[in-house]
Structure 1
């Protein structure tokens, strides 16, 4: 298939697995752009329409750091031989340093502090050292949602679950020294890989099963809690656990329409935004799994046509970047 995707109709020609793989990334970007205009708001009423409205500093449809930090992971995956080794982590680090030097909008405090402390050396090792140092110094403030928001691209080179889990954990540690952030990334990334392969959300349990035995009950309880509570009850969603719970709640408490099942993607992403708080990140997290389950073809073309952002890409150019890289 041609990688020229300037015409939205070409999306319909993408194979099922490609549709889902592209869906996880474009779902992330669309959720990010959808949520950025509502960030830091209180929970919103269910009847309020959710649109890509932008906010001060962000144009309507413009994605933020969630997607911007994902793109170096996409590029490193393209350059890899099916896994993320030390060389690929250095490529990711270099991409983040370049992004940081562009004075990005909306960068989270934890990520800012880690990159700022390590930018002179410009290596993955320097990032990981700064991340670990932050965790030692302020352990109660090192489990933000900033590594979970960008984890989806780790599945693109290889869907093998253990390979995905290893990559998710290693890349998380570059900026988030708290192991709980890595655990969240493992769960979500494995869930995405499963959704791409099988078209279901069951892989979340598979992700929990790859954690140390001592950690599984914590996460099983957190996930079960999310399935029985509304997204707007997870008010501390800057913390990685509640960010994951908010996203999982939006997915699992939003009914799948009988007459149009794939519309679940849009409805659940809107529910994630209505939850309030860190709306762009929770919607990006939810969008990555929803896109992996329902595919790129389920994302409204009006959204794809509107989304754009660092490093100067449109939604369709992001699709082309992935398709041409993994051709």
Structure 2
């Protein structure tokens, strides 16, 4: 499987339906909005060059269940499609004993921008959208931590990867504080299994800790290896919020394109609708 120069992968592709829902003024905490997101994910995954293992298992089951009950995903009511997705995520989680892949963290950033003025809604939305495909608590925690850090960077101009820890229960807060502390002491390439949400977040924290500016930070992330596009996407969510769109090299911005047949300008235009 080959990618064109500047073509985004599944990370950005899965974020776009979330971004579109928010830019349309919809609340992604509602089942109706979540169902519309899931429908577009199913459409995307059928022709995608690469889909995460957990995500593919869930979306394939969603397609099958929707066809069995309603004929296809288009005849399935929005709220019902969200329920089917949650049920599929639970089934996959329990059949495998885990669902802590990085596939929900990689797509979470639009939620941070969509709820800049309501942190409680942000927390609820981040976890709810994560659970459409990833039931494991680590996945939801990671999305909450990252979205709150992105929001903080946008609103204050300051970087604080720990700002979101306050939204977790005390036991989970202490666990994640230790994970972040460790990440800041090692290089991204020293963190193994970055397909796991915890390791992916740690690798991103490590890259941000070491990088000098947006471009250098993203290069640090890419050098992590293994699931490198996802680590770079996660890193770019927060580092981009810290440094701003003007820090993106012009040649990178010009080359950006991907599913569903749009360019980087599309993402900018949609994101600008969300910023007060």
TM-score in terms of structure 1 length? 0.77
Using the TM superposition, name which of 121-130 and 244-253 deviates more.
121-130
> Does 2:72 correspond to 1:113?
no
> Does 2:118 correspond to 1:174?
no
> Does 2:203 correspond to 1:246?
yes
Q: How much has 1:324 moved relative to structure 2?
A: 5.6
Higher relative contact order (Cα pairs below 8 Å, separated by 6+ residues): 1
Report what 1:223 is aligned to: 180
Residue correspondence of structure 1 range 74-113 to structure 2 within 5 A: 74-81=19-26, 84-101=29-46, 103-113=47-57
Report what 1:275 is aligned to: 224
Give the whole-Å Cα distance in 2 for the aligned partners of 1:240 and 1:82: 25
Q: How much has 1:326 moved relative to structure 2?
A: 6.9
CA deviation vs aligned residue, 1:171-207 (integer Å, no higher than 9, x gap)? 00000011110001100011001111011112x2221
CA contact (8 A) 2:150 2:238 kept: yes
CA 1:81 to 1:66, structure 2 compared with 1: closer, same or farther past 3 Å? closer
Q: How much has 1:322 moved relative to structure 2?
A: 3.6
Report what 1:317 is aligned to: 266
Report what 1:194 is aligned to: 152
Q: How much has 1:221 moved relative to structure 2?
A: 0.3
CA deviation vs aligned residue, 1:110-155 (integer Å, no higher than 9, x gap)? 1000000111424111111110111111124x11000000000012
CA contact (8 A) 1:246 1:282 kept: yes
CA 1:180 to 1:301, structure 2 compared with 1: closer, same or farther past 3 Å? same
Q: How much has 1:81 moved relative to structure 2?
A: 4.6
CA 1:325 to 1:275, structure 2 compared with 1: closer, same or farther past 3 Å? closer
- Which runs of no fewer than 5 residues in structure 1 stay unpaired? 1-55, 257-263
Give the whole-Å Cα distance in 2 for the aligned partners of 1:189 and 1:325: 14
CA contact (8 A) 2:18 2:28 kept: no
Give the whole-Å Cα distance in 1 for the aligned partners of 2:50 and 2:9: 6
Give the whole-Å Cα distance in 2 for the aligned partners of 1:281 and 1:64: 8
Give the whole-Å Cα distance in 2 for the aligned partners of 1:81 and 1:67: 20
Count of aligned residue pairs for this structure pair: 261
Residue correspondence of structure 1 range 52-67 to structure 2 within 5 A: 56-67=1-12
Residue correspondence of structure 1 range 37-76 to structure 2 within 5 A: 56-76=1-21
CA deviation vs aligned residue, 1:68-113 (integer Å, no higher than 9, x gap)? 0000000111233555322211121111122123x10111111000
